[in-house]
Structure 1
Amino acid sequence: MSTATLTATLRPMLPSDADAVAEIFREAILVGTAADYTEEQRIAWAGPKLDPERWRDRIGISVGLIAERDGKPVGCMTLMEGNHLDMAFVRPEATGTGVGGQLLGSLTMIARAGGARAITSDVSITARPFFERYGFKVVKDQVRIRRGVELPNFAMRKDL
């Protein structure tokens, strides 16, 4: 994991980005959360195969950004209903390089411009330290069930 901060290019997420979003999600879950979730949990969360169709509809109902480096998508984040971060994923090789912070900063500005007074998100064990660095606080511990498997996470909030 690199600790260098490298600027990524941010652009709006489009339904045509579903393949890239699916890849980023799958890599972030299967590889990026390995220290905090069991293999069974990661497979249940990611699903049995790459599934871009799953993302097309979610992309269409959100404000989303894609982060690219050298033309390759390395991260994505979406804002739902003006104040809820729904997808926040970075490829493992881009973790710790500032991509997540760039995405979060831009979507925070969008939320503020839309009148949001807080941002919320359901955050994995792995992502919790990242969100805490940016001022998010745990509202409650929670457990999601995916394919019959329990996945602990946290409801988090940041007042704007």
Structure 2
Amino acid sequence: MIIREYKLSDTKIIMKLFYDTIHEINVCDYTYEQVSAWTPESMDYDIWQKRLQAKLPYIAENNGEIVGFGELEPDGHIDCFYCHSKYQRKGIGSKLLSHIETTAKFRGIKRLYTNFQKILLGM
């Protein structure tokens, strides 16, 4: 597995990975109504393309297949962080997070956070 930077040609695959993961994995923790509001069936490609070009996520790729993605914002915020619904518990998230942590340290970011928790980086 490799971690690489986002390419424009990844957009549709990332959209599908996002949709499938939420509808197949996260649906266990949220109601169907919440999941449908979070990821409707008709996601807008242009909006996603602009969003991904602005966020420039890191892509986890295994044998040419995109199996995860994660975003690191300049202030240390990790906005989206998803692993393919068919590849849960295979170390993809750990490898992706390790790459994000290394990148953050290189950039001098001392704190990573999501909307749920904070991760302090040992310096």
Structure-2-length-normalised TM-score: 0.89
Q: Decide which structure has greater strand share.
A: 1
CA deviation map 1:25-49 (0-9, x unaligned): 1011111112111111111101232
Q: Report 1:137-148 matches (<5 A).
A: none
Aligned residue number for residue 108 of structure 2 = 115
1:53 maps to 46
1:76-130 Cα shifts (integer Å, max 9, x gaps): 11111241111101111111000011111001111111111100112xxxxxxxx
* Separation (CA, whole Å) in 1 of partners of 2:35 and 2:106: 35
**Distance between the aligned counterparts of 2:120 and 2:13, measured in 1?**
31
Secondary structure of the equivalent of 1:84? coil
| Number of residue pairs aligned between Structure 1 and Structure 2 | 121
Cα distance in 2 for partners of 1:39, 1:59 equals 26
**C-alpha distance in structure 2 between counterparts of 1:63 and 1:15, whole Å:** 10
Give the corresponding residue for 1:158: 119
Relative to the length of structure 1, the TM-score reads 0.70
Give the Å deviation of 1:53.
Answer: 2.3
Structure 2 Cα separation of the partners of residues 98 and 77 of structure 1: 14
Q: How far, CA to CA, are the matches of 1:56 and 1:108 in structure 2?
A: 25
More helix per residue: 1 or 2?
2
CA contact (8 A) 1:84 1:121 kept: yes
Which consecutive unaligned segments of at least 5 residues does structure 1 have? Answer: 1-7, 123-153
Q: 1:91 aligns with which of 75, 78, 84?
A: 84
Q: Which amino acid aligns with 1:49?
A: S
| Identical columns (%) | 26
Determine the structure 1 residue equivalent to 2:4: 11
**Equivalent-residue separation in structure 2 for 1:106 and 1:63 (angstroms):** 14
Structure 2 residue runs of 5 or longer lacking an equivalent are none
